[in-house]
């Protein structure tokens, strides 16, 4: 299944139960963006009635913030000039440089230190920002929860409420909400020329008698791959990651 572009906003048939906590108490006053609005997402949206306000404005908002603050995503937003919800141009702030796209489309790089942070290559400018946060195991898990949230919401748009409220996703709901410990992986890669677009591809995979949904999420050509049910990397996928030169984050 591929979803890139086009309208995917649906009308909720029922108000609740919430996709994540399964409560019917609500309130359910707001739509939920599958990808954060600050990534330019105006397409992948769950209507009012799918996610309750406490989840929407609480744990899910925190996971969106974690994703937006991830260094590669932060750099892409600033370089492409993807505006915030308030309509402002973002700035990527790293310990050794700041990057911002001006209103006239010019990308500015401010490096206050003496060390060289960028060099011109035949195919463009290569920058070497220092990370804003260490990529610890706990941070990898928070990022994974942000992507699991995206995956489950995309399945809602494809398969509907009855499917995603099934018991097979109850553990995943608890993981997204930060209620249970878990282990997993993320495969990370860059997919080519950067562009102001988000989307995803996914398919069902079978192994050892079990089925999972494998996702390839594209955020402005920054790709993150994961599955929703297994949370462990099978040998064929590990071999493919090595062949493709993808980074493997395991936690």
What is the number of domains present in the chain? 1
Q: What is the pLDDT of residue 109?
A: 86
Q: Cβ neighbours of residue 157 under 8 Å, at least 6 residues apart?
A: 3, 8, 10, 34, 44, 46
Mean pLDDT, to the nearest integer, of 55-59? 98
Q: Report if residue 124 sits inside a domain.
A: no
- Reply yes or no on whether the pLDDT at 127 is more than 70: no
Q: What is the pLDDT of residue 13?
A: 47
* Cβ pair 139, 131 in contact under 8 A: no
Instruction: Residue 48: count other Cβ atoms within 10 Å of its Cβ.
Output: 17
Rounded to two decimals, the pTM is: 0.88
When mean pLDDT is compared across 3-17, 93-107, 148-162, 199-213, the lowest value belongs to: 3-17
Tokens of 234: 């099978």
Instruction: Residue 68: count other Cβ atoms within 10 Å of its Cβ.
Output: 18
Q: Report if residue 162 sits inside a domain.
A: yes
- Reply yes or no on whether the pLDDT at 81 is more than 90: yes
Place of tokens 């990527």: 92
Q: Tell me which residue of 77, 88, 85 sits closest to 30, measured CA to CA.
A: 85
Q: Report if residue 128 sits inside a domain.
A: no
pLDDT category at 3 given cuts 50, 70, 90 is very low
Mean pLDDT, to the nearest integer, of 110-127? 66
- Reply yes or no on whether the pLDDT at 61 is more than 60: yes
When mean pLDDT is compared across 78-82, 102-106, 167-171, 209-213, the lowest value belongs to: 209-213
Place of tokens 């919800």: 85
Mean pLDDT, to the nearest integer, of 10-37? 86
- Reply yes or no on whether the pLDDT at 24 is more than 50: yes
Q: Provide the 3-class DSSP secondary structure of residue 159.
A: helix
Q: What is the pLDDT of residue 123?
A: 62
Domain that holds residue 212: 2-66+135-250
Where are the strands (E) in 177-227, listed by range? 185-190, 198-207, 210-219, 222-227
Q: What is the pLDDT of residue 144?
A: 98
**Rounded Cα distance, 49 and 38, in Å:** 22
C-alpha atoms less than 13 angstroms from C-alpha of 191 in its C-beta half-sphere: 19
**Rounded Cα distance, 49 and 156, in Å:** 12
Q: Report if residue 125 sits inside a domain.
A: no
Q: Cβ neighbours of residue 6 under 8 Å, at least 6 residues apart?
A: 43
Q: At what angle do helices 59-68 and 137-159 cross, to 10 degrees?
A: 110
Q: Report if residue 72 sits inside a domain.
A: no
Q: Report if residue 121 sits inside a domain.
A: no
Q: Tell me which residue of 60, 39, 67, 49 sits closest to 9, measured CA to CA.
A: 49
Q: Report if residue 127 sits inside a domain.
A: no
Burial class (CB in 10 A: 0-12, 13-18, 19+), 219: buried
Q: What is the pLDDT of residue 194?
A: 86
CA distances from 174 to 110, 124, 204, 205 (A): 42, 43, 22, 22
Q: What is the pLDDT of residue 16?
A: 80
- Reply yes or no on whether the pLDDT at 43 is more than 90: yes
Summarised one tens digit per residue, pLDDT across range 177-219 is 999 999 999 999 987 788 889 999 999 998 777 889 999 999 9
Tokens of 14: 């029922």
State what percent of residues in the chain have pLDDT above 90. Answer: 71
pLDDT category at 25 given cuts 50, 70, 90 is very high
**Rounded Cα distance, 167 and 9, in Å:** 25
């Amino acid at each position: 299944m591929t979803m890139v572009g086009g309208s995917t906003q649906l009308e909720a048939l029922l108000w609740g139960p919430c996709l994540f906590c399964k409560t019917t108490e609500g309130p359910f006053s707001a739509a939920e963006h599958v990808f954060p609005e600050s990534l330019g997402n105006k397409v992948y949206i769950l209507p009012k009635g799918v996610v309750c306000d406490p989840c929407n404005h609480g744990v899910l908002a925190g996971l969106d913030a974690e994703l937006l603050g991830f260094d590669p995503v932060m750099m892409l937003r600033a370089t492409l000039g993807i505006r915030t919800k308030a309509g402002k141009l973002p700035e990527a702030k790293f310990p050794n440089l700041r990057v911002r796209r001006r209103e006239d489309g010019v990308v500015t790089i401010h490096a206050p230190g003496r060390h060289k942070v960028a060099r011109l290559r035949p195919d463009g400018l290569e920058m070497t920002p220092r990370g804003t946060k260490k990529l610890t195991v706990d941070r990898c898990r928070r990022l994974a929860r942000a992507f699991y949230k995206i995956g489950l919401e995309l399945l809602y748009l494809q398969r509907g409420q009855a499917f995603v409220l099934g018991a097979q996703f109850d553990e995943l709901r608890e993981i997204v909400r930060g209620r249970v410990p878990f282990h997993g992986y993320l495969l990370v890669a860059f997919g080519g020329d950067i562009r102001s677009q988000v989307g995803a591809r996914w398919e069902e995979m079978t192994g050892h008698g079990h089925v999972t949904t494998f996702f390839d999420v594209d955020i402005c050509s920054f790709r993150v791959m994961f599955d929703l049910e297994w949370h462990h990397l099978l040998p064929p996928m590990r071999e493919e990651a090595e062949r493709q030169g993808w980074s493997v984050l395991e936690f």
